[in-house]
Copies of this chain bind each other. A is one copy, B any other.
């Protein structure tokens, strides 16, 4: 097994810093939009992972695809690394400048390029966040469902193949990105895909870039599928005696084909954090938080089916979020579970695991991971997009304690090994980043990883696109 060791957790790599000539050229081209200020560099050298800060040498704030292309062309001329930066919410060290180089901040690329409501599509610049998108299209009667915990940028979400709570019904970024504008490693601009819902035209470059974590090119625009707001929405919570009961209920919901829109597991620890953070009074006991989308009758029917299944597994009566405001409050709390948990232990960092397994193996996968966490004595909490077989155990650790870091890493390793053994994946939605390079080899095999490396070398011969991530070249 090619698992990360504490040695791997160091971010030190061979440095390829920005030379003075490049810096001069960047300043000439971008003026104030190129910064080497320490505070700016430091902000761009960290994410939500447990890695130490690893800042880039300079940051360019881009406002257009042409700007990104110009910056990449200059960097390529000096064989200097470029790392795209959206909101900094990565969990696997994606943004860290482990070889030095240039951070390309696309957060100012925050315009909706084209809303095509009649086609249920939208094209956005890469820096638009998921919440901004839904705010801006609210009056169209449409919405975009993909919702990772953070209010991430849509460019970053595409780059990490993100998903979230709605994926069980609406799919992930893999299914919902129709087309991309990409700046290649040589600074050319290409367009992948079209606005047609399906296509058999050539290699699927769109899905090659979705999930490539900035290592093959920089995504500057994203064309997405939208969905009509459902006629009816209802959300309910259901408490269970044990996590296993909630999981078994979920497995049956999926196997029966109930078109549930959201099916989230929270354990007692996660609920405790959420209660404190959001001032809620949820019972601190394993819970499914569910949402049903459809017609009035359809939503009622789905909920009745699920309530019946839940009862068979000791589930309590559904408690309903009856108003849109109640619903929003509940989901906002769920989305804040990560930040809520951080507050339960001042100064801590969270190591968040992210396996996904075939649905029939979900109970085994969660139960054993929880037992291991209990035995290890490190504070932890569980949330899961369990309808997809995807869940997160997060360990709260003192980043200055090598013992705690090592324990969390060992627990994570055991979980990943189990997921791979159960024919699942080492990451459902967070990506490989720095942390899971070895796990990718365990999961995909040396031959498949060699093929990924061939593609990387073909598209980025200078290895300047977010080097040191996804693959060990």
Contact = CB atoms under 8 A, between A and B. Distances in A.
A191 B448 contact: yes
Given A297-B297, A360-B116, A451 B196 contact: no
Given A119-B359, A448-B191, A440 B202 contact: yes
Nearest to A207: B207
Given A196-B358, A198-B172, A427-B199, A230 B207 contact: no
Interface string A250-270: 010011110100000000000
Interface in A276-315: 294-295, 297-298, 301
B200 A445 contact: no
Nearest to A360: B118
A199 B356 contact: yes
Contact of A195 (B256, B424, B427, B449): B424
Contact of A200 (B184, B361, B427, B447): B427
Contact of A358 (B119, B163, B354): B119
A455 B452 contact: no
Nearest to A210: B204
A390 to B, nearest CB: 6
A208 interface: yes
Contact of A230 (B216, B257, B419, B427): B257
Contacts of A295: 298, 301
Interface stretch (A6-14, A19-27, A403-411, A428-436): A428-436
A452 B167 CA distance: 29
Contact of A298 (B256, B301, B445): B301
Contacts of A184: 447, 451
A444 interface: yes
Contacts of A162: 200
- The count of identical subunits is 2
Which of the listed residues A203, A255, A427 has the most CB atoms from chain B within 10 Å of its own CB? A203
Contact of A423 (B194, B256, B448): B194
Contacts of A191: 444-445, 448
A132 to B, nearest CB: 23
Contacts of A208: 203-204, 207-208, 455
Contact of A201 (B116, B207, B256, B440): B440
A93 to B, nearest CB: 14
B195 A423 contact: yes
Interface in A174-210: 174-175, 184, 188-192, 194-205, 207-208, 210
Contacts of A457: 458
Contact of A198 (B190, B256, B429): B429
A106 interface: no
Contacts of A172: 198
A76 interface: no
A436 B199 CA distance: 13
Interface in A228-246: 228, 230
Given A167-B198, A184-B447, 7 more contacts: A120-B255, A174-B207, A191-B444, A202-B444, A203-B211, A207-B207, A207-B208
Interface of A: 116, 118-121, 160-163, 167, 171-172, 174-175, 184, 188-192, 194-205, 207-208, 210-212, 216, 227-228, 230, 251, 254-257, 259, 294-295, 297-298, 301, 354, 356-361, 388-390, 419-420, 423-432, 436, 439-440, 443-445, 447-449, 451-452, 454-459, 470-471
8 contacts: A116-B360, A190-B451, A197-B356, A197-B359, A201-B426, A202-B448, A297-B297, A455-B458
